[in-house]
Structure 1
Amino acid sequence: MVSVGDDAPDFTAPLADGDVSSLTLSEHLDSAPVVLAFFPAAFTGTCTTEMCTFRDQMANFEDVGATVYGISIDTPFTLNEFRAQNDLNFGLVSDTNREIIDAYDVSMDFADLGVRNLAKRAVFVVDDDREITYAWVSDDPGVEPDYDEVAAAAEDARKRRQNAT
């Protein structure tokens, strides 16, 4: 699994942003810090709560210049519907090929349901040098991140960027 201090694996994937476009992480680091919030599946209880909490706390991230992206294995069309039904104000990355989940080593199975290779609930903050400055990964899909801690980590990444210039 990637950890604080590691280079964030780069990726290009479909972005559900009301339309379907493409997102390459390394091309969006000028709007760093970037918050990558992995979640198992759209339209499930804890995942909906998590993404709606990021929505409700978006001002905390915008205040420090952070960009938030949710990432799951759902198709971009499913993710656009999920965005619309929940009024999400940030883009969702579709990782149907599970390449991002594998690169960040945040894969999990719900073996009792016969569902494999979903994203663990995980959050990474990436700075403008593509360094991971914050990492949180849960083995329990019912646990949500500490949103205040994520916002503080994004602010710390922004401050590091300002101090470096």
Structure 2
Amino acid sequence: MSLKTGDIVPNFTAKDSHGEVFESQSVLGRKPLVIYFYPKDNTPGCTTEACSFRDQYEDFKDLGAEVIGISSDSVKSHQKFAKKHQLPFILLSDQDKRIRHIFGVRDTLFGLVPGRVTYVIDRNGVVILIFDSMNAAKHIPKALETIKELVL
């Protein structure tokens, strides 16, 4: 399965960086979402991307949107990553790659590196943008622009 623009995001659960169970229905269909999948905590591109989302987080919140980062790193790794970089948004651990599979995020570089894909989802839970690029810096402005178009 692979989500496409216009699809409704199915419910999913995962552990967040505090070790708590996060249930997607707590936000899906309630507010616009930016869900971004990234390869690995504490790597240069992923740190740049996470810190850029952090720096623009208030802009997303002001528009009523929530940001969620997902990788296959452990809860402990996410905990350290979030603390080190003061990340204010939700990080989810997808160690079994189940959520990545639901969304259809493919590996890159001959299957060696997990893909970097950002999804923008409207308040009804419908995918309105899928942005697939290994260039970490391009995801944040693209997501913010799409959220602005949604709510303004």
The normalised TM-score by structure 1 is 0.82
1:127 corresponds, among 115, 122, 126, to: 122
In structure 2, relative to structure 1, the CA distance for the partners of 1:145 and 1:3 (3 Å cut) is farther
- Percent identical residues: 28
In structure 2, relative to structure 1, the CA distance for the partners of 1:86 and 1:31 (3 Å cut) is farther
CA shift, 1:66, in A, is 0.5
The answer to whether the 8 Å contact 2:5/2:127 transfers is yes
Partner secondary structure for residue 25 of structure 2: helix
Structure 1 gap ranges (5+): 160-165
The equivalent of 1:149 in structure 2 is 142
- Per-residue CA deviations over 1:49-74 (Å, capped at 9, x if unaligned) read 00000001112101101000100000
Distance in 2 between residues matched to 1:98 and 1:135, nearest whole Å:
18
CA shift, 1:32, in A, is 1.2
The equivalent of 1:65 in structure 2 is 64
- Per-residue CA deviations over 1:70-119 (Å, capped at 9, x if unaligned) read 000001111010000111111101000100111111130555xxx75x53
Comparing 75-84 and 21-30, the one that deviates more: 21-30
In structure 2, relative to structure 1, the CA distance for the partners of 1:158 and 1:20 (3 Å cut) is farther
The equivalent of 1:34 in structure 2 is 33
Distance in 1 between residues matched to 2:48 and 2:120, nearest whole Å:
20
Q: From the two aligned structures, give the one with the greater strand fraction.
A: 1
The answer to whether the 8 Å contact 1:31/1:65 transfers is no
State how 1:5-154 maps to structure 2 within 5 Å.
5-16=6-17, 19-29=18-28, 31-111=30-110, 116=112, 119-138=114-133, 141-154=134-147
The normalised TM-score by structure 2 is 0.89
Distance in 1 between residues matched to 2:127 and 2:102, nearest whole Å:
13
In structure 2, relative to structure 1, the CA distance for the partners of 1:77 and 1:107 (3 Å cut) is same
Structure 2 gap ranges (5+): none
Partner secondary structure for residue 65 of structure 1: coil
The answer to whether the 8 Å contact 2:131/2:139 transfers is no
